[in-house]
Structure 1
Amino acid sequence: MFAVHPDLLYRFLTRSLVSPNSGEGWLSKLGVQKLEPTKESHSRMLSDKEVIYALHTHNIRPDSFDKYLKNYEENVNLIHSKRTELNCELVASWTVDVGDLDQALHLWQYTGGFERIDQAQTVLSQDESYQKLLKERGNHLRSRHLQYLLAFSYWPPVVKREEKNIYEIRSYRLRPGTMIEWGNNWARAINHRRKNDEPFAAYFSQIGRLYNVHHIWCYKDLQSRKETRESAWRSPGWDECVAYTVPLIREMHCRILTPTSFSPTK
């Protein structure tokens, strides 16, 4: 037996499983339609707000976890003290309980588009206290990554939670050219997941790792997560939405998150 590379298999299926009479392939039967040319950017078609989100992912040295959290809380307080000038605020801050351990995620919101991000970077580059915290934080980290994201327009607005919760971030790497199909399918799929108030936020990448999607869900605990997800599978139509989106995915993984003590959402 020999292994077939997934991309070669994908190309074979999309070429060979096409009916010569109908021009309809196997993937199109699953809902993966050929995209028509458009003069509208995909970002504009999927997101309707001039709000940019920054997702910072920090991999922390295990022996520096507490020092790192103290440093980042000071960082948050400093930025919030300049909130009017910077037009940005922390939406949520988490540490990872299941998945990539010794990791923290921080989600920031910038109102006013990339112009506000440029202005904020200029201000902070000249702030000695911020630069000192940034330098100190480097001693506590193994690596870090930043993505600029847009929110999907079909997702419910972000509502900060006040009671104790856990969160799940499900991250997907999609096949290039499939973001519109993803949005079309999830605009329907989200209706199957609203009743338990579990959707928190959903984003797609603009700068950083491209064709990345992040869905963030909120649960009381792992048991309620299990029950809620099983309930979705009993909802007529959910299985079809899953079947339509699976062919769009190249890679996916999930992490279970706990809010930090200074996270605006709990």
Structure 2
Amino acid sequence: MSSLRALRPFSTASRALAKTRVPSLGNVPPHDDGHYFSPTRYPAPPPATESQASDVMPSSDAKSGLIKSILYGSDQSKKEQAAAERSYSNQLSRGKYVHEMVVHKVRPDRAPDYVDLVSQVYPRIAATGPLDDSSHKVHLVGSWRTVIGDDLDTYVHIWEYSSFAGFHDVNFHLHNHEPFFLDYIEKVRPMLVSRKSDLMQEFDFWGGTAAPHDLGGIFELRSYNLKAGQLLNWETSWKRGLECRRQVMEPVGAWFNQLGEINTVHHLWQFADLEHRKSCRDKCWHLPGWANTVHETVGLVNRMQSHVLVALPFSPLK
């Protein structure tokens, strides 16, 4: 009897494997806040009896007020805290709109393929709305390629959503109801070195992002990473500075990051060419108030970057 074991036959038939989808907002159905704060899930504790209350808190009103002040903060401190929160959420922001800045670093050898792909897909995304809402919740502000900066094969896209909920709704819809979007994801991944997404809101003092137009020329995206806690000071100084700049150059948009690289501010400007940019910036120094803006803001910044961009053919802003 042979001591060799019978070899297990191998099948040459290929197995059909289901394509794996990486996690995304397409896996997270939109909810209202009640999903997480339902009274049935977190019932209120039963009211304390008199004996229990006396064990926890002295009966003296003075002592009660002192302990509450220590544990929860005084009424004045709570008012000051609420005012500070309103300053950040209401005073800085123009309204409900949320903007997303998407940055793609593209492999140099795939740049033409990338431009062809986004030229076909991005206008289609901008024309897509969630199934349960006929109004569009996303608009493409603009798409650009970096021509001067630290990464030349970098493309910047800015999207506008109706709200944070609108951002979620659109992404959920695209991942679950638009096969062309999943096809785009599969095609674009091999073209990229890296990708980044920040959610931003507009500064109220700026007056809103520019409407679609075709002026030609170049764009300059200036990004400032601020020291923590200095955003309000930045906004106060730039209220005055913008009045100077408006006299000599075309403002396009200004945003501060809410998610992503926080404490970061972006300003977008448009010029005819580099010489026009230089001339406009030189003129600012002769306008009352501009030197003060520079003096007040330079100490608020950790680092800053400047990138010169050119619009892609399908960009609403160009």
Q: Normalized against structure 2, the TM-score is what?
A: 0.70
Unaligned runs of 5+ in 2: 1-79
Secondary structure, counterpart of 2:193 in structure 1: strand
Contact 2:94/2:205, CA 8 A, preserved across alignment: no
Q: Deviations over 1:97-150 (max 9, x none)?
A: 100210000000001x11111111110111211011111000110001000000
**Residue identity (%):** 30
Q: 2:119 — aligned with what? A: 73
How far residue 164 of structure 1 moved from its aligned partner, in angstroms, is 1.1
Letter of the 2:143 counterpart: S
Secondary structure, counterpart of 1:71 in structure 2: helix
Distance in 2, Cα, partners of 1:117 & 1:134: 18
Distance in 1, Cα, partners of 2:313 & 2:126: 16
Aligned counterpart in structure 1 of residue 269 of structure 2, from 217, 224, 246: 217
Letter of the 2:164 counterpart: F
Q: 2:37 — aligned with what? A: none
| Residue 138 (structure 1) aligned with residue 189 (structure 2) | yes
Aligned counterpart in structure 1 of residue 290 of structure 2, from 238, 261, 266: 238
How far residue 77 of structure 1 moved from its aligned partner, in angstroms, is 2.5
How far residue 44 of structure 1 moved from its aligned partner, in angstroms, is 1.7
Secondary structure, counterpart of 2:206 in structure 1: coil
Q: 2:56 — aligned with what? A: none
Aligned counterpart in structure 2 of residue 63 of structure 1, from 83, 89, 109: 109
Q: 1:23 — aligned with what? A: none
Q: 1:98 — aligned with what? A: 148
How far residue 67 of structure 1 moved from its aligned partner, in angstroms, is 0.4
Letter of the 1:65 counterpart: A
Distance in 2, Cα, partners of 1:148 & 1:261: 24
Contact 2:146/2:310, CA 8 A, preserved across alignment: yes
Secondary structure, counterpart of 1:146 in structure 2: strand
Letter of the 2:107 counterpart: R
Q: 1:129 — aligned with what? A: 180
Contact 2:248/2:283, CA 8 A, preserved across alignment: no
Distance in 2, Cα, partners of 1:215 & 1:48: 15
Distance in 1, Cα, partners of 2:194 & 2:87: 32
Distance in 1, Cα, partners of 2:85 & 2:245: 33
Matches within 5 A, 1:2-17: none
| Residue 46 (structure 1) aligned with residue 92 (structure 2) | yes
Contact 1:156/1:199, CA 8 A, preserved across alignment: no
Contact 1:86/1:119, CA 8 A, preserved across alignment: no
Letter of the 1:123 counterpart: H
Secondary structure, counterpart of 2:143 in structure 1: strand
Q: Deviations over 1:190-228 (max 9, x none)?
A: 000112341110000001000000000110000000000
Kindly indicate which of the two structures has a greater share of residues assigned to strand: 1
Letter of the 1:91 counterpart: V
| Residue 255 (structure 1) aligned with residue 307 (structure 2) | yes
Q: 2:28 — aligned with what? A: none
Distance in 2, Cα, partners of 1:263 & 1:193: 25
Q: Normalized against structure 1, the TM-score is what?
A: 0.83
How far residue 41 of structure 1 moved from its aligned partner, in angstroms, is 5.2
| Residue 202 (structure 1) aligned with residue 254 (structure 2) | yes
Cα RMSD for the two superposed structures: 1.4
Distance in 2, Cα, partners of 1:159 & 1:193: 19
How far residue 43 of structure 1 moved from its aligned partner, in angstroms, is 2.8
Q: Computing the radius of gyration over CA atoms, which structure comes out larger, 1 or 2?
A: 2
Higher relative contact order (CA 8 A, sep 6+): 1
Contact 1:156/1:200, CA 8 A, preserved across alignment: no
Distance in 1, Cα, partners of 2:282 & 2:215: 23
Letter of the 1:246 counterpart: V
How far residue 253 of structure 1 moved from its aligned partner, in angstroms, is 0.8
Distance in 2, Cα, partners of 1:41 & 1:240: 23
